[in-house]
Amino acid sequence: MVISSALSSRELTRNEVEVLRHLLGRRFETEEDQIRSSGLPRSTYLDVKQRLYAHNVVEDRYVPAPGFLGIPRVSFVLLHPHARSRDSTVQFLTSVQGSVVVWSGVHSAFAVVFHRTPKEARAFDASLAGVVRLGPQDICLEVVPEEPTIPVYFDYEGAWNHFCGLQTTVRYPRGLPFSPRSRGGNSGPTGKTLEEVRALMSQPVDFGPARKRLHLVGPATLARPQRKLLLSGVIEWRTFLDVKNLPIRHGEIISDVIFVSGTLRTPESLFGVFRDLTGQSGIYPFLLVAGANRALIGVLARQGSSRSAGRSASPVRPSTGAYTIITRHLDEVEVTREPLASLEVALSHRYDRALPPTHGGC
C-alpha cells in the first residue's frame, strides 16, 4: 500500500534537500559521520531524516551481490501488454520466484528477476512468451550479473542532486553489488549464513506500526554476523527514492519515468552513452544495463510549473538533446514514457524473494 506523502505537495526545505542528498549517497558511514558531513545540527538532521522516512520519500534495503547468492542470471523485463492483459501480466511477473522489482503503468510493465540457475532463466523466458505476445518494443534483457553489465542500478543520487541544482554527487553511479563468487558455480550461502542473509533481506520490508521509527534502522542495529556481510561487500545498504512520493523543488516535480532500449553499436557504447548523457545533457540515469548487445536505460523526467519559468537554466537544463546522444550510441531505439501518477509498485526491492524458499514454502 502506498501512503500519500505530505512532502509531495510542498517545496522541500534546504535542510530536507541536504539530508536527502546524504541519504542517497551514503554507504556504510556511521550516523554520527553522516551528521558531521551534513553540517547540520544533530537534532535538525535527525528530525528531518525521520520526516523523510515517515512520509515515504525514501526506503532502505539491503541489496545482495547476485553472485554471493549463487544467482548466475538477472533479467530486466520491459513489456507493453494490451490493456486487457495488463493485470494478468503484472500478476505473472509478481508471482515469479525471484522477482524483486515490479512496476506497472498505463503503457508498460517493468520487472527485475533474479534466476537461481540458467535453466530457471530459460523457463522464465518460455513462460513469459506464453503470457504476453512480445512486440518490437518489448525487451527481456538477461544478463550475467558481473561488472560491467549493470553499472547503474536504481541509483537516484545523480538524478535527484541535479534536479535540486546540486553540482556534485558522492557515490553515483552505483551498480548492482558485485561478487566474484558468481564465477565457478557458487550455489549461494547455506546453513547459519543463509539464515543471517534471510533475516537481513527481510528486515526492511514491512515495519507496520513501527514505520515512524524507520530512521533508526541501519547497520548499527544489526547482529555482528550481518555487519560482517556488509563489511565484506557482498551485501550493500542502500537508500532508494520512493518514485510514488517525490517532493517538489523550485516549483518542479519529477513527473515521469522513461525507459530507453536499443542495440549497442560497439562494446564501448554503453559507457559512451552514459558519459555523454551525464556530461553533455545533464541527464543522470538511475538504471543502466547491457546484455547480448542490447541496452536498457532508465531516467526520471521533470515537469515544471510557472514558478520555475524565470529561473536561470544553467544549473538544471540539458545542453544537448538526449535523443541525439542516445542515437549516437544505440540503434533501433525504443522509448517508453510512463507517468509516475499512474505508476503502481507491486514489488519494491524484495531481495528476500531471490533466496531459496524455506521448508514451508516461499
More confident residue, 358 or 54: 54
Q: Is the peptide bond preceding residue 285 cis, with omega within 30 degrees of 0?
A: no
Q: What is residue 97's three-state secondary structure?
A: coil
Ramachandran region of residue 154, left (φ > 0), alpha (ψ -120 to 50) or beta? Answer: left
With contact defined as beta carbons under 8 Å apart, do 198 and 359 qualify?
no
Worst-scoring range by mean pLDDT, 176-190, 192-206, 217-231? 176-190
- Sheet strands side by side (includes 287-291): 152-153, 287-291, 294-304, 252-264, 330-339
More confident residue, 114 or 208: 114
Q: What is the CA radius of gyration of the chain?
A: 20
What is the pLDDT, as a whole number, of residue 309?
Answer: 31
pLDDT at 306 over 70: no
Tens of pLDDT along 283-301? 999 999 998 899 999 999 9
Tens of pLDDT along 130-152? 888 888 889 999 999 876 789 99
Q: What is residue 292's three-state secondary structure?
A: coil
User: Confidence band (pLDDT; 50, 70, 90) for 122?
Assistant: very high
With contact defined as beta carbons under 8 Å apart, do 299 and 163 qualify?
no
More confident residue, 255 or 2: 255
What is the pLDDT, as a whole number, of residue 6?
Answer: 58
User: Confidence band (pLDDT; 50, 70, 90) for 303?
Assistant: confident
What is the pLDDT, as a whole number, of residue 175?
Answer: 93
Bridge partners of residue 253, in order along the sequence:
303
Q: Is the peptide bond preceding residue 247 cis, with omega within 30 degrees of 0?
A: no
What is the pLDDT, as a whole number, of residue 147?
Answer: 65
Whether residue 259 lies inside any domain: the answer is: yes
Q: What is residue 125's three-state secondary structure?
A: helix
Whether residue 244 lies inside any domain: the answer is: no
What is the pLDDT, as a whole number, of residue 232?
Answer: 87
Whether residue 167 lies inside any domain: the answer is: yes
What is the rounded distance in angstroms from the CA atom of residue 46 to the CA atom of residue 321?
40
Average pLDDT, the chain: 84
Number of domains in the chain: 1
Which has the closest alpha carbon to 286: 240, 321, 319? 240
Tens of pLDDT along 48-84? 988 888 888 888 899 999 989 989 999 999 999 988 8
What is the pLDDT, as a whole number, of residue 53?
Answer: 86
Residues 6+ apart with CB under 8 A from 193: 225
Whether residue 358 lies inside any domain: the answer is: no
Whether residue 69 lies inside any domain: the answer is: no
Worst-scoring range by mean pLDDT, 60-69, 113-122, 221-230, 234-243? 221-230
Whether residue 157 lies inside any domain: the answer is: yes
Task: State the average pLDDT over residues 86-112.
Answer: 95
pLDDT at 2 over 50: no
What is the pLDDT, as a whole number, of residue 311?
Answer: 34
Q: Residue 286 belongs to a domain with what CATH number? A: 3.30.70
Which has the closest alpha carbon to 112: 352, 347, 341? 347
Find where cell 510493465 sits. 109
All three cell numbers of 233: 561487500
Whether residue 77 lies inside any domain: the answer is: no
* Structural domain boundaries, residue 269: 152-171+251-340
Whether residue 278 lies inside any domain: the answer is: yes
